[in-house]
Structure 1
Amino acid sequence: MGELWRLLIVFFQIGLFSIGGGYAIIPLIQELAVEKYAWVSQRIFTDIITISQMTPGPLAVNASTFIGLQIAGIPGAIIATFGCIISGVGISILLYRFFRRHNKSIYVLEALNGLRSASLGLIISAAATLLLLTFIGTSTISVVAYVDWIAVAVFAGSLFVLRKWKVNPILLMVLTGILGGIIQIKS
């Protein structure tokens, strides 16, 4: 199967299961793009997720565009993005029609409450994955792990500055990006 077809099918799947939102889908994108197909490394995946969060649009769509670009250039970006979007459009149309018919049902409302709880668990899992990738360079905890103490210090300092002085998060991201670039150059 050609890479473009594989990109279309994989990102159609990702779009199909990204109902919980951007953060909830990070583990599935990681499993498929990093572990199963080895399209990108853990480090590049972390960079793609970071950039996807900073650019306008849904995280899964942005990630699909960046990964598609890495794999097959502009055609890959277009195909992966289309695959990610088309399933969501179809699901949205079906859900709209369903909820218009059943908007007063207590069962439907309770099912939505259960889905919110599941999404919260997926978001917590995604946050833990991102922290592990940032601090130890892998998404699994191992007995012998290299801890990037500089990343921990920058994270803790940023969190402190954000909470204490309520600095604009975008300004803080720019400043920590510059700091990271300086640290990278000196290393």
Structure 2
Amino acid sequence: LAALGVAPIFLLSVLAVAAVLILRAIDAEEAFSFVDGRLLTLIFAMLAVGAALQASGAVELIVKMLVPILSQLPPVLMIWVLYLITSVLTELVSNNAVAVVVTPIAIALAQALGVDPRPFVVAVMVAASASFATPVGYQTNMMVYGPGGYRFTDFMRVGIPLNLSIGLISSVMIPLIWPL
């Protein structure tokens, strides 16, 4: 419904949660036991950082630096550059935080270039979710890092080629599905 413009996604998600609780598909105590408070805190903090970046003019500054470079590139390379920036950041910080901070930049960048922002946002979401090169960027990586006896370099050795492969595939496929 959100994709069709019927209602905002936030409203629909709140209604869905309310319906699940009212219909007793899951009780409130069990539902809240699955909410990770630290992750919510991080997401809210990054929303504040994202808002601060926009209010301070930092998003505009970043966009002004990137537009002259990206405007000369074909769509595949535009997506590739945005993917690489997001991918590097998501290996250093939580993927959720990177997605929240980079998405407004991607949207502003697309608007400045005069193209559809959806492919840029999809590239950010894929890159932020494809965190394979370090144990830092994604919670599951950290969960297997210690118990599995892995070293940091193990993640890099396997993860960097995987990140690059997914980036290349995404850079080709995203503009085909969502033309710029």
Q: TM-score range by the shorter chain?
A: under 0.3
TM-score norm. by structure 2 comes to: 0.26
TM-score norm. by structure 1 comes to: 0.25
Structure with the larger helix share: 1
